[in-house]
Amino acid sequence: MLKYSQRLSNFRQRAWLRSVASSLWLLSAPLFLSSPAFASNDSSADAPETEVIAIVDGDEVSPERFNSIWKAQVQSLRLKNGQIPEVATRAQKVQLSEFLIEELLLEHEGEQQKIEVSEQQIDAELRGRPPPGISNQELTYARRKARLDLLCERLIEQKNPAPLTEETIRQFYERHHDRFREPEPKPFEAVKDSIARELQELLHKTHRARLIDELRSRATIKNMLADRQAPYLARPVTGQAQRKPEKTDSILSPRQNQSVPAPSH
């Protein structure tokens, strides 16, 4: 039986460049935020932080740790006219603070489980081929995220998650057979690999979300940055983000019949 990380190797090969780009945690902000009415020259929103970001089980997330990533993120939020959307910027800061909380949670769990990730493993994860034009800050952060991804996978492996079987893939195909009939009917063998990739990616995201939820439930967390930003945001921001794990029972259990989007081909 292949290890969990081995079952994900093909998925990581295809997705790592996308992961580097998404690792900056850019918000999919509504287009209206880019209009002058929602942009601001006020430097307070995008300024580096000077106070403690959060406390996780007694350990502080320092402003230095936050700012080392924020320097790269904030430039991507700047509009062509030089202004920065204030609401999107403040929400982005909260999102980054939540990532740093999860980072610390995974580090704590890795230390307790005596799991280490080597530089060689990170090199293999990134395939040693950063995209052209990537900045040193982006490359450093890509390596940092790759380390956490590997650590998370090792922690998930210890829980011995059930592998994705051909029977499960076939059940999905049969349940959503009508989605594989355009422009012409496609036999199971022709789409099996595509379905497997999509389901494996969904399983990985679900396992990760459940692990983070479990770590959060056992930890004492205070997100001070979220509390500081909340008054400026349109919707209240709590000190701890609530996550709803993605539904996979409908895929893995033939007794369920919940619709799941078909993979793209």
Domain CATH for 91: 1.10.4030.10
DSSP code for 129: -
Which residue range is the domain that position 85 belongs to?
4-29+37-252
* Range of 171-180, 199-208, 212-221 with top mean pLDDT: 212-221
Evaluate whether residue 157 is within a structural domain: yes
pLDDT at site 261: 42
Q: What pLDDT is attached to residue 234? A: 59
Residue 264 lies in a domain: no
Q: Look-up: residue for tokens 């940092």? A: 144
The answer to whether position 124 is within a domain reads yes
257 occurs within a structural domain: no
22-31 pLDDT tens trace: 443 343 343 3
Judged by average pLDDT, the poorest of 61-75, 190-204, 233-247 is: 233-247
pTM exceeds 0.75? no
Mean pLDDT to the nearest integer, 175-189: 84
Give the pLDDT of residue 236: 45
- Flag whether 21 is in a domain: yes
The answer as to whether 218 is a domain residue is: yes
pLDDT for position 3: 52
Residue 87 in any domain: the answer is: yes
Q: Is residue 263 part of a domain?
A: no
Cβ partners under 8 Å of residue 201, min gap 6? 11, 15
Work out how many domains the chain is built from and give that number.
1
Band (pLDDT 50/70/90 cuts) for residue 129 is: low
Q: Is the pLDDT of residue 247 over 50?
A: no
What is the per-residue DSSP string for 69-96?
HHHHHHHHT--TTS-EEHHHHHHHHHHH
- Cβ within 8 Å of residue 219, ≥6 positions away: 56, 57, 105, 108
